[in-house]
Amino acid sequence: MINFRTRFVLSLLALITVVLIALGLWLGQLFKTYYLATINDRLEKESALLAEAVQNTGGIKSVTAERLESWSETMDMRLSVANPAGTILYDSGGTSNGQKKVHSDIVKRIPQTKNPNTYKNALRRKLDIQYHWKDILTEDGKREGYLVVSMRVNALDEVYGHIWLLLLVSLALTLILIILIGTKITSRYVKPVESATAVAIELAKGNYRARTYETPPDEVGMLNTSINILARNLQEMMQAQEVHQNRLTTLIENIDSGLLLIDDRGFIVMANRSFKKMFGTKRILKKRYHEVITQTEIIKVVEDVFITEKGVRRQIKIPLELEQKEVEVSGAPIIGTNDEWKGILVVFHDITEIKQLEQMRKDFVANVSHELKTPITSIKGFTETLLDGALNDPHAAKMFLDIIWKESGRMETLVADLLDLSKIEQKGLSLNIKRISLNKLVKEVVVTLENRLEAKQLVLQVNLPDGLFIQGDEYRLKQVFLNLITNAILYTPPGGRITIEGKDSEQLVHVTVSDTGIGIEKSELPRIFERFYRVDKARSRESGGTGLGLAIVKHIMEAHHGKIKAESKPNEGTSFTVSFQKNFAGDFTKN
């Protein structure tokens, strides 16, 4: 595409060229008309004078060739004298036979011409020679012959050449002036306009950082200044819009609830990160909602909002991957200012954890009630028996009091474990962090359990490397190993084996407590750290277990920023691995 500057210069050149050509043609025609008119007037006067001279000197008979040639040289023209029949009697010029023949033919036709002016005009249009003739009269007024005067007008060609040379020189000078003036004009006006145009194009593309050069305060300068002000305003508006858009996008993307925006045609135009994570979808934009959402209940919610144009809220169970989630789905219509239907907004709030907490609360109340009911019933029953007269039987009284003492101890242990677990979960646990030798700590725990090991004839092997130290609370860590070893004793048949092994890595210390007990089913492994959960409920209750031991172990390990994991195979045994940080400083209160 030719730019404005080139088109401007070419337009000026074309205009000047057309004007000069038209001027040259007009001047040439004007000069030709003037020149011919002057020649004709001269020929007319000179022919009249010569004819009168011939008449006054005795007529045609007195004319001689020498006289005609003298007049021809003096007047720089061709003179011919012819009789009334058109025969040339005397001629002063014409050397070639062709020229003489043409001249003779023209002179011969003169007497035969009824309208001499018409014939003269015809000759002027065909030849580059101007003719004029005058009758030579006798004294009595009769026509004796006529004098023909002719003159070649070759000067017109030379004049035309000078005219066109002058025009070409003028055109060259005009071109130089146009280039100089055009350069000045383009520098002064066209360049700023081009710059403004380029900036306007960049603004249309969205590049609001583009600026144009400001010129002195005239119309073009005002235009460039206005464009720069417009660009700055647009840039500020876009920056503000980007800030608001980023804030809105950040807010939407980081909301825990899934958001889905559907337009009036049923196409998805927006979905946040939580929705994509919840439903495991990625490329969903510009697709219809029923192509993305496969759950019938959710589709029904969307359709109800479209039909009723009112908000709809429902709690739905949605199977996602290997688990089932409780989701509260809320759909709301989006109506424009003029009651124009824009679409709907669907919010997915995952309430699975809330439901689980409610269920855990119910289970907790039920389990605590169940655990307390048995010892309370036993204590109450045996107390009534003693009051009814069993006190008089020393053997029976002692047996009943032993049972009451055992059940009250069980209640005391249950309440202590509940209080301990409550403190740990509420982050009210006070840790006394110090450097601890794992060998020493495990041996102290094993000493307290020797009687139970001997009673079941179990073999305990401790394989801990020397110099294995960690940072932690000694009392709480004893709780961890006491619970793990007690569980191993509880679920290992007589004659079995319990092994405690340790391993040192770069930043962690791993201790594994394994047994050859009854094992745990794979489906039950995720639940063993829940409160009151027992793998073998009968055996746990007989041993006085509360079902809170592993829950307490898990929370103590989390308080130490450690980890615990379990591996088991039914009828082969179970192993628990606890991992401690070597340089744990603790986030809880230190004593």
pLDDT, tens only, 284-323: 788 888 888 888 888 898 889 888 888 888 888 877 655 6
In the structure, what pLDDT confidence band is assigned to residue 116 with cuts at 50, 70 and 90?
low
Mean pLDDT, rounded, for 537-542: 47
Q: Please, what's the b/e burial string for 234-253 (b: 16 or more CB within 10 A of its CB; e: otherwise)?
A: bbeeeeeeeeeeeeeeeebe
CA distance to 62, 549, 573, per residue, from 540 (Å): 174, 11, 17
Distance CA 53, CA 380 (A): 181
Does residue 364 register a pLDDT over 70?
A: no
Please identify, among 153, 172, 197, the residue that sits at the C-terminal boundary of a domain: 153
Q: What is the CA radius of gyration of the chain?
A: 63
**345 with 260: CB under 8 angstroms?**
yes
Domain-embedded: residue 222: no
Phi, psi of 349 (to 5 degrees): -110, 115
pLDDT digits (tens, 9 = 90+) for 369-387: 666 676 787 777 778 777 7
Does residue 423 register a pLDDT over 50?
A: yes
Closest CA to 572 of 516, 521, 532, 534: 516
Q: If you search the block for the tokens 């130290």, which residue do you land on? A: 469
pLDDT of the residue at 538: 46
- CA 354 to chain CA mean position, Å: 40
User: 439 and 387 in one domain?
Assistant: no
In the structure, what pLDDT confidence band is assigned to residue 210 with cuts at 50, 70 and 90?
confident
In the structure, what pLDDT confidence band is assigned to residue 536 with cuts at 50, 70 and 90?
low
CA distance to 3, 396, 399, 511, per residue, from 393 (Å): 124, 5, 10, 52
Please identify, among 316, 344, 372, the residue that sits at the C-terminal boundary of a domain: 344
CA distance to 196, 197, 210, per residue, from 213 (Å): 8, 12, 10
- For helices 4-56 and 155-185, the axis angle rounded to 10 degrees is 160
In the structure, what pLDDT confidence band is assigned to residue 557 with cuts at 50, 70 and 90?
confident
User: 444 and 381 in one domain?
Assistant: no
> Which CATH number fits the domain that encloses residue 412?
1.10.287.130
User: 127 and 38 in one domain?
Assistant: yes
Domain-embedded: residue 246: no
Number of domains observed in the structure of the chain: 4
Mean pLDDT, rounded, for 569-586: 81
Question: If 0-12 CB within 10 Å is exposed, 13-18 middle and 19+ buried, where does residue 199 land?
Answer: buried
Domain-embedded: residue 189: no
In the structure, what pLDDT confidence band is assigned to residue 360 with cuts at 50, 70 and 90?
low
Domain-embedded: residue 220: no
CB within 8 Å of 303: residues ≥ 6 apart: none
Distance CA 216, CA 458 (A): 103
pLDDT digits (tens, 9 = 90+) for 483-518: 888 888 888 888 889 999 988 887 788 899 999 888
pLDDT of the residue at 145: 82
Phi-psi region of 398 (alpha: psi -120 to 50; beta: other; left: phi over 0): alpha
Does residue 586 register a pLDDT over 60?
A: no
pLDDT of the residue at 512: 92
Question: If 0-12 CB within 10 Å is exposed, 13-18 middle and 19+ buried, where does residue 588 land?
Answer: middle
> Which CATH number fits the domain that encloses residue 325?
3.30.450.20
Distance CA 148, CA 322 (A): 129
Mean pLDDT, rounded, for 17-44: 78
> Which CATH number fits the domain that encloses residue 530?
3.30.565.10
Distance CA 367, CA 545 (A): 13
Mean pLDDT, rounded, for 239-263: 85
Query: What is the maximal distance between C-alpha atoms in the chain?
Result: 206
Mean pLDDT, rounded, for 543-547: 54
Mean pLDDT, rounded, for 536-551: 57
Phi-psi region of 329 (alpha: psi -120 to 50; beta: other; left: phi over 0): beta
User: 391 and 535 in one domain?
Assistant: no
0.85 exceeded by the pTM? no
Does residue 543 register a pLDDT over 60?
A: no
**82 with 110: CB under 8 angstroms?**
yes
Q: Where are the beta strands (DSSP E) in 84-217?
A: 88-91, 129-137, 143-152
User: 360 and 326 in one domain?
Assistant: no
Domain-embedded: residue 232: no
Distance CA 239, CA 440 (A): 65
* 236 vs 2, residue with greater confidence: 236
Mean pLDDT, rounded, for 193-206: 80
pLDDT digits (tens, 9 = 90+) for 40-78: 788 888 888 888 887 777 777 777 777 778 888 888 788
Closest CA to 350 of 383, 316, 378, 385: 316
Q: Where are the beta strands (DSSP E) in 250-322?
A: 258-263, 268-271, 312-320
* Residues in a beta bridge with 324: 319
Other CB atoms within a 10 A radius of the CB of residue 211 amount to 15
User: 543 and 440 in one domain?
Assistant: yes
Does residue 222 register a pLDDT over 60?
A: yes
Domain-embedded: residue 365: yes
Closest CA to 285 of 299, 270, 265, 273: 270
Domain-embedded: residue 490: yes
User: 449 and 538 in one domain?
Assistant: yes
Mean pLDDT, rounded, for 386-406: 78
User: 375 and 283 in one domain?
Assistant: no
User: 438 and 417 in one domain?
Assistant: no
pLDDT digits (tens, 9 = 90+) for 346-357: 998 888 878 777
pLDDT of the residue at 96: 47
pLDDT, averaged across the chain: 78
CB within 8 Å of 8: residues ≥ 6 apart: 182, 185, 186, 190
Mean pLDDT, rounded, for 225-234: 83
User: 28 and 121 in one domain?
Assistant: yes
Domain-embedded: residue 436: yes
DSSP 343-403: EEEEEEEE-HHHHHHHHHHHHHHHHHHHHHHHHHHHHHHHHHHHHTTGGGSHHHHHHHHHH
DSSP 32-61: HHHHHHHHHHHHHHHHHHHHHHHHHTTSGG
Q: If you search the block for the tokens 């269920």, which residue do you land on? A: 359
Distance CA 529, CA 524 (A): 10
* 439 vs 101, residue with greater confidence: 439
Domain with 295 in it:
255-344
Q: CA torsion 516→521→527→530, rounded to 10°?
A: -40
**326 with 353: CB under 8 angstroms?**
no
Mean pLDDT, rounded, for 203-227: 75
In the structure, what pLDDT confidence band is assigned to residue 542 with cuts at 50, 70 and 90?
very low
User: 550 and 442 in one domain?
Assistant: yes
SS3 at position 270: strand
Mean pLDDT, rounded, for 24-47: 78
Please identify, among 153, 171, 188, the residue that sits at the C-terminal boundary of a domain: 153
User: 549 and 518 in one domain?
Assistant: yes
